[in-house]
Chains A and B, each alone.
Chain A
Amino acid sequence: MTSLLTVRNLSVYYGAKAQAAERVSFDVGTGSVVALLGANGAGKSSIMKAVAGLVPATGEITFDGEPVQSLPARQRVQAGIVYVPEGREIVGNLTVRENLVLGGYHVPGVARRARIDMVLDMFPEIANKADGPAWRLSGGEQQMLAIGRGLMAGPRLLLLDEPSLGLAPLLVHRVFERLATIRRETHLAIVLVEQNLRMTMRLCDEVHFLRSGRIVGWRRAQDLKGEAARQEAIDAYLGATASH
């Protein structure tokens, strides 16, 4: 599988001293799903934001063979790197449809309208609320809107930050079901940061374990099927052990 995203020695700093990620390296193949797993504060979201160009970072980020680390966030979106942030971050005062327009802001009019129809087909829960204000959506619907808005830009790599955060189990299941469908139908590469281990294991191909801003190990998802391996993942998630 060819590498779509290559990250080498990525370091993220907030201010002079607060280091969120240190010399992180990983690859994401075309159409593959890679999960970043670690306890709170391990640097997962910072790495995602750095790849999206939303926080300053040092190191090399190559997307489809082209270096992108010097590009601003908007040019990375146009290149096909789209970040779906933690906490949804939908624009509450816009309608659902306007949020989708926002997601496809750089897409020409006709293609944008076709993509809105595609997203509303994909997420029927929000289709009948398309012209209402987005703040009226439930948490699960807002998450679907956030993912749909991400798809509007026509991404080749989706950076999904905690899509199950604050959702009831049934909604988590529904969101991941849609992600599996999206993956199957679009061959989209996904980098996933998620607290729900069970769902993560179902969706992803590879898992990278993070601790204190560093990648301390990785596994293929298929190697994490057994109980011992699952315990290893849980330990990594809780920050208890380093896995190699």
Chain B
Amino acid sequence: MTVIVETVGSVLRDLFPLIWSGVITGCLYALGALGLVMIFKSSRVVNFSHGNVAGFAAFLVYGFSSGLLLELSWGAAVLLAVIAAIAIAFVSYALIAPLVFESDLTATIATLGVGLVVQGATLLMFGADIVSLDLPVPRFSASILGLLITGYDLTVLFVAVVTIGILFFVIDYTKLGVAFRAISDNAFAAEVCGLNLRSVHLFAWCVAAILGVVGALLIVPTTFLSSTTVATFMLQAFAAAVLGGFASLPGSLVGGILIGIFMNLFTFYVSPEFSSTFLLGVILLALNIFPNGALAKVGGSRV
């Protein structure tokens, strides 16, 4: 009996910190996933360049704040990097827009090309070396009910909640949000009403770029920055989007948090080496069990 109680106690002691850190990482996956889903919902394109563009923007922050390109404050560097990411989103969409109205698949493949070009530009400008990029977050940690909570955790949680909250507010309560949801649901109806589809697509691409930069800047301090770091991180975001049904913004949020927790549990209890395999397994399972997403609701239309 004592052994059972001790085992359960030990599992719970491990479990809560793992779930907590999974939620924190999951918020970052959700930010990435939301960007992918915003673009997919509006343009029906899976944007494979998302991670590369966000990674490039993170490198720009490094370049602008370290003296490599400029010697700016961290805030100014972030602002410039966000502007650059939005500019890249404009150019990417301008390149892909003619394809969007012809074939979703061709447009999706074109994003792979854009991603490779951006990755090439990253290597050309910053080289293949690993660099460290820190966040100016409050440095503290506190233990609450045995759970170690750091300033980084709270910063990620705060930024993710505020960013996602603003996004959901815009989508749910503004005229632009109505246009975005209309195009996602019935693009022809939106066109009949006189909406400029390209403008709404572009809005989604720009928002996705900003979400990507925010996600990249928050994830990099936990690891390091290389030309592939953020693109790899976006694989988790992709899994989160798939788990959420790839066309649901709340689904992406839930998917991100679930992926964060699952990955942590798998890495701790099973094997860190096979975490990528596990992730692909989750994607396959999700596609088979919840083809419309874990939050898919029963809806329909009446005649």
Contact = CB atoms under 8 A, between A and B. Distances in A.
Interface of A: 52, 54, 73-78, 82-85, 89-94, 98, 101-103, 105-106, 133, 135-139, 142, 149, 153, 166
Contacts of A139: 302-303
A137 B302 contact: yes
B11 interface: no
A91 B190 contact: yes
A136 B193 contact: no
A102 B189 contact: yes
A102 B182 contact: yes
Given A91-B186, A92-B301, A136-B302, A98 B178 contact: yes
Interface of B: 175, 178-179, 181-182, 185-186, 188-196, 299-303
B303 A166 contact: yes
Given A135-B300, A136-B302, A139-B303, A106 B182 contact: no
B191 A94 contact: no
6 contacts: A73-B191, A74-B195, A93-B181, A98-B178, A101-B175, A135-B301
B303 A92 contact: no
Given A90-B186, A102-B195, 11 more contacts: A77-B192, A78-B194, A85-B188, A89-B188, A91-B182, A91-B185, A101-B178, A103-B193, A135-B299, A135-B302, A153-B194
A103 B194 CA distance: 8
Contacts of A73: 191-192, 194
A89 B191 CA distance: 11
A138 B302 contact: yes
A225 B38 CA distance: 55
Given A85-B188, A91-B181, A91-B186, A74 B196 contact: yes
Most chain B CB atoms below 10 A, which of A78, A105, A138: A105
A54 B186 CA distance: 15
Most chain A CB atoms below 10 A, which of B178, B179, B192, B196: B192
Contacts of A52: 192
A94 B178 contact: yes
Contacts of B301: 92, 135
B44 to A, nearest CB: 16
A133 B298 CA distance: 13
Contact of A91 (B175, B189, B299): B189
Given A91-B181, A91-B185, A102 B299 contact: no
Contacts of A166: 303
A39 B194 CA distance: 29
A89 B192 contact: yes
Contact of A89 (B181, B186, B194, B300): B186
A65 B197 CA distance: 28
A102 B179 contact: yes
B188 A74 contact: no
Given A91-B186, A101-B175, A54 B302 contact: no
B148 to A, nearest CB: 42
Contacts of B191: 54, 73-74
A93 B303 CA distance: 15
Given A91-B185, A91-B186, A94-B181, A149 B193 contact: yes
B202 to A, nearest CB: 15
A106 B302 CA distance: 29
A54 B191 CA distance: 8
Nearest to A167: B303
Nearest to B301: A135
Nearest to A81: B194
A93 B193 contact: no
A106 B192 CA distance: 12
A57 to B, nearest CB: 16
Nearest to B199: A74
A54 to B, nearest CB: 7
Given A135-B302, A138-B302, A93 B185 contact: yes
